[in-house]
Amino acid sequence: MALGPVYLLSLFLHAFVGWRVAPDLFLLAPVLGGALWVGLALSALLMPMGVLARRVARPPLTTVLTWAGLLCMGLFSSLFVLTLVREAALLVAHVGAWVWPGVFDLASWQTDTALALPPLALLITVLGFWNARRTAAVVRVDVPITNLPAALHGFTVAQISDVHVGPTIKTQYLQRIVARINGLDAHMVAITGDLVDGSVKELHQHVAPLANLRSTHGTFFVTGNHEYYSGAHSWIDALRGLGLTVLMNEHVVIDHHSDTARATMVVAGVADYTAHHFDEGHRSDPRAAMADAPAGFKLLLAHQPRSADAAADAGFDLQLSGHTHGGQFWPWMYFVKFQQPFTAGLHKLRNLWVYTSRGTGYWGPPKRFGAPSEITLLRLTLA
């Protein structure tokens, strides 16, 4: 990624906000308009560092620039969206003033909205930062399954997804997640992809806490698209070295005992929906993951919800996915549906239940607003 075009785009977007908002702030007080331009200039320069700092600096400066760039990215995202919302509102106000002269005080409307816009964007960003950096809350979900074997009634799966260990998510963040999962006493743990944003060399020590995950039947992992950006083959080996079962278009059979009965469960996993763009041998294939599976309840781990159609055709009962982050922060949750069939939560597709996690970490800006992170505890129940 070339620095020049990235900075030109950043400068253009920041200049648009300044052009539309700063003149009205100057009318209130020149210092307000000037302060906005100074802030926008700093943000325009820092924001690209959120993804490019490693190309222009060395640690520890890399870490400082990355944090500064990603925080600016989160703040500017809200500032830019609110500016567009304000433009739409001003257009409506101008039409209203033309239809009903004297009813709307356009001058006051323009200056009041300009004054409110920066602190509102800052408030959203601060709340979003707190939501992103706190340890994800546990979301408990009952999944009603027709003809569920008696031994599997009450079977629990702790799911995490989209942690994105990387530039701003490190060892301690993951340790808190592991501790919370271990407190759930789940029968199994599922990690549905996008665990990392970086190479094994950079991040192996930071994912090491996963070796401490505890459950009755172990921890199962499937790749997400970000594993393929980060060296999927190396990560598959590294995670197996930590004791995780990595499922690549394959399944394992769990023999589960309750107090009075026993049953088998097929736990399958597929490579990411787009994995074939990186390695044809990793093409996602739910039917292959089901091959030669015995009768019984069938669970599929698939990073992206859009694997669901093929999973339903293959005969799975439940699919666990992530990828969407639930939109991560407003207003992006409204656009996920144009790329994925489900944004978050439990849905039914023919005979298949699909649960889509909002994710346990975050990607890019440390910001979650309107889409809180989660550790999901799914419990199978007899419908």
- Break the chain into its structural domains and give their ranges: 3-132, 138-382
Return the H-helix or E-strand segment holding 178.
helix 171-182
Side-chain-facing half-sphere of 6: CA atoms under 13 Å = 14
Confidence (pTM): 0.95
In angstroms, the CA 29 to CA 34 distance is: 9
In angstroms, the CA 188 to CA 244 distance is: 11
Task: Say what the pLDDT of residue 4 is.
Answer: 81
Task: Say what the pLDDT of residue 57 is.
Answer: 77
Q: pLDDT per residue over 330-378, tens digit each?
A: 999 999 999 999 999 999 999 999 999 999 999 999 999 999 999 999 9
Tokens of 31: 């210092």
Question: Which portions of the chain are predicted below pLDDT 70?
Answer: 1, 103
- Beta-strand relationship, 250-257 and 262-269: antiparallel
Fold category of 138-382 in CATH: Purple Acid Phosphatase; chain A, domain 2 (3.60.21)
Task: Say what the pLDDT of residue 1 is.
Answer: 61
